[in-house]
Amino acid sequence: MNLYFLRHASAGVRRPNPVIDAKRPLDRDGKQFCLQLAHVLNGMKLQFDLIVSSPMKRCMQTASLVGTETAYERSVQIEPSLAPGGNLAAFRAMLDSLPPVENVLIVGHNPTLTTFLGATISGAVGGRIAGIRLRKGALARVDTERRPPTLMWLLDPRIVRALYLSSTKSSRRKTSKK
């Protein structure tokens, strides 16, 4: 199984009240980035068999936008262990309960998503976990068929934007008519 860890896209400024912060939506840049990411994923011919998201609005929007643009036809599965403050044991239990599919997109928050990613690739059960930086909108692919699970690649948002811009420009060379 391939696990794709996606940190939600830009959602503006964090709110001090956790009830209000849970309802914080993606901002304009975050929505635009989701469409750019989906364009890049389509260019990679990548489709998801299952999308699992934190119950927070910004994660649900990220999952929904990316899923819709990559032709994902099922509903997004809500997973409380992906919410801020989720714990590693609940995350591992969720992974164990997943159906046997090829590609699973997991949408969550920092620092928990980074911890889950690091623990997944390091195989840590109580020891040290790998440290990985996930900016907003970063996507990491982990191959769990290998032992230990292996980080295959990480797309930083800057790379996604560069790939998007290079794929949408005209491929015809500009020549002067003299």
Q: Provide the pLDDT for residue 72.
A: 94
Span 145-172, pLDDT tens digits: 978 889 999 999 999 999 999 887 655 5
pLDDT at 124 over 70: no
Q: Which residues, other chains included, contact 94 with Cβ-Cβ below 8 Å and sequence gap of 6+? A: 52, 79, 81, 82
Q: At the topology level of CATH, where does 2-164 sit?
A: Rossmann fold (3.40.50)
Q: Provide the pLDDT for residue 155.
A: 94
Span 58-115, pLDDT tens digits: 999 999 999 999 999 999 999 999 998 889 999 999 999 999 999 999 999 988 999 9
Q: Which two tokens stand for residue 149?
A: 């699970």
Span 10-52, pLDDT tens digits: 887 777 777 777 788 899 999 999 999 999 999 999 999 999 9
pLDDT, mean of residues 115-132: 80
Q: Provide the pLDDT for residue 126.
A: 60
pLDDT at 174 over 60: no
Q: Provide the pLDDT for residue 176.
A: 53
Q: Provide the pLDDT for residue 37.
A: 95
28, burial (CB in 10 Å: exposed 0-12, middle 13-18, buried 19+):
exposed
DSSP assignment string, 50-83: EEEE-SSHHHHHHHHHHHHHTT--SPPEE-GGGS
The pLDDT confidence band at residue 127, using thresholds 50, 70 and 90, is low
Q: How far is CA 107 from the centre of its chain?
A: 5
Q: What is the pTM of this model?
A: 0.88
Q: Which two tokens stand for residue 122?
A: 């390091």
